[in-house]
Structure 1
């Protein structure tokens, strides 16, 4: 099902193909989603494109926005697996642009973001994806988070999620998403970690280039649908460990994921399993602080909410 924006041509798929297709999955957050759409349409750069809003388990209702020349806007219902992964894939499958950009419905782009990434693709033809740094809005202040470098490899992503590279910053070639790279993994429990999974896959094929300027504003004040879903976190992280055996090539990388599993299990009340994963993580890398925190939570010396409140205040996540 497709709906057209006000004053939009009757068939937004007619004419020359757009340069970039921006896919925005959404679920019952019309005001936040409208801000996300407006941030794309106010890029003020010589890039043509289309915005595809994918409505996941909610009515297709296009916001009333002004369309600059060279841009179109349409909405469609998620026709695949319910959740973020299926919604992204519905948009990718319906996209017409040479490039596909991701934007979550609670985040916004800053001016110049898309033009800078198109320039980076031109400069780095070997890049499978191009991301940017970000600004975290925790509801009290804005915190800049940069990436560790301007080119990130598979080893970089095994050792660290590099959370400064947010999913709302990512741009891919559509041909890669429909070809060797593949679509978003819809088997991931609750779609948690789908962005990390595709970065691992992309970096295994080539490099991930970074425009290391904060060009995405990420809202991080507890509004995420993932917030507090600890059992799903643990399940998804174990899925990623099984899917990406390369983690086992680096004790530090393996210990990091095991510590995250431990923390999630402890936070979901699975204390015995949490301590087993914590010891495993510490055995691979004694520096894994999350493993010690998980043990403390499992013994009721700390609460997960207390820990997450602290890390969110400094613009980080568990």
Structure 2
């Protein structure tokens, strides 16, 4: 599709919309303090409230530089345990016109919030805006620029588009509540809850992004699910059952099938892994995860070794 002509970018000024930033957390106080400081330190002319949602733990004080137009609220997640329930706790408690997400181990970079708010104001039809990211892993940074075109549902069916990371999300709260819906708390293990949310967001209108990488995303051992293969398999099956239009897109379904093949290889079920790999290959022989799954299923290389190698290059499987 082509964009309609852009209106002049509005100045935010004193009328800048209020923003509520939801930060789920559990047992990472040092990283949390850094994340909150970066949020409240944004040069943004509107009011910013940071809602830290403690998941399965009691709230504890967070050292953070509050001041005029900057507030910090501590909440407890009493919904489903995990990121989905914690995000929803924050969304429902938020008082801002706009709502944003940030994981407790990530960091907003200078200019992030103001650039996104301007983009959201430019395009009233867009339900959600993102930014590029910097993946930080093992002492290295990998900048990932966000797509500079509108993203529709078909784009997300075909590709997770990792640059549209949950820590980059900014949306109108009313649109989340009335058109997108809350984060799905039923996904097994909470795996892919952010991706499923994006699929529904794209139903509400084209998703747009600030091209520049304005969020630093920390990848570390607790970021990954490589030792939880049965949960990953259940979550992928759940995703396709909830969004059956995956099956109408050969590229999209091949990606999911190849991920299933890789997960079964990680589980040690070579028969199921080969079966899913064959299906993925029939749908899209160019799907690279097929070959990763076949390699892992051969027993020559462990699945978790391939995951680590991908992460060293700033990629996922």
Question: Is the structural similarity TM-score above 0.5?
Answer: yes
- SS of the residue corresponding to residue 177 of structure 1 reads helix
Measure how far apart 1:293 and its partner are.
1.8
Measure how far apart 1:165 and its partner are.
1.4
- SS of the residue corresponding to residue 179 of structure 1 reads helix
Which residue of structure 1 aligns with residue 179 of structure 2?
180
Q: Say whether the 8 Å CA contact 1:234–1:262 is kept in structure 2.
A: no
CA distance in structure 2 between the partners assigned to 1:217 and 1:170 by the alignment: 13
Which residue of structure 2 aligns with residue 232 of structure 1?
231
Q: Say whether the 8 Å CA contact 1:18–1:96 is kept in structure 2.
A: no
Q: Say whether the 8 Å CA contact 2:84–2:185 is kept in structure 1.
A: yes
Structure 1 vs Structure 2 CA RMSD: 1.6
Matches within 5 A, 1:94-109: 94-109=93-108
Which residue of structure 1 aligns with residue 52 of structure 2?
53
Structure 1: tracts of 5 or more residues without a match: 1-16
Matches within 5 A, 1:249-264: 249-264=248-263
Measure how far apart 1:148 and its partner are.
3.0
Structure 2: tracts of 5 or more residues without a match: 1-15
Measure how far apart 1:246 and its partner are.
1.5
Q: Spell out, residue by residue over 1:151-175, the C-alpha distance to the aligned partner (whole angstroms, 9 max, x if none).
A: 2111111111111111100011111
Q: Say whether the 8 Å CA contact 1:80–1:87 is kept in structure 2.
A: yes
- SS of the residue corresponding to residue 223 of structure 1 reads helix
Q: Does 1:170 align with 2:169?
A: yes
Which residue of structure 1 aligns with residue 274 of structure 2?
275
CA distance in structure 2 between the partners assigned to 1:92 and 1:227 by the alignment: 29
Which residue of structure 2 aligns with residue 87 of structure 1?
86
Measure how far apart 1:274 and its partner are.
1.5
Q: Spell out, residue by residue over 1:9-33, the C-alpha distance to the aligned partner (whole angstroms, 9 max, x if none).
A: xxxxxxxx97010000001111111
Measure how far apart 1:108 and its partner are.
0.5
- SS of the residue corresponding to residue 152 of structure 1 reads coil
- SS of the residue corresponding to residue 291 of structure 1 reads helix
Q: Say whether the 8 Å CA contact 1:265–1:271 is kept in structure 2.
A: yes
Q: Does 1:202 align with 2:187?
A: no
CA distance in structure 1 between the partners assigned to 2:306 and 2:77 by the alignment: 35
Which residue of structure 2 aligns with residue 242 of structure 1?
241
Which residue of structure 2 aligns with residue 159 of structure 1?
158
Q: Say whether the 8 Å CA contact 2:273–2:297 is kept in structure 1.
A: yes
- TM-score normalised per structure 1: 0.92
- SS of the residue corresponding to residue 156 of structure 1 reads helix
CA distance in structure 1 between the partners assigned to 2:233 and 2:61 by the alignment: 35
Matches within 5 A, 1:17-96: 19-96=18-95
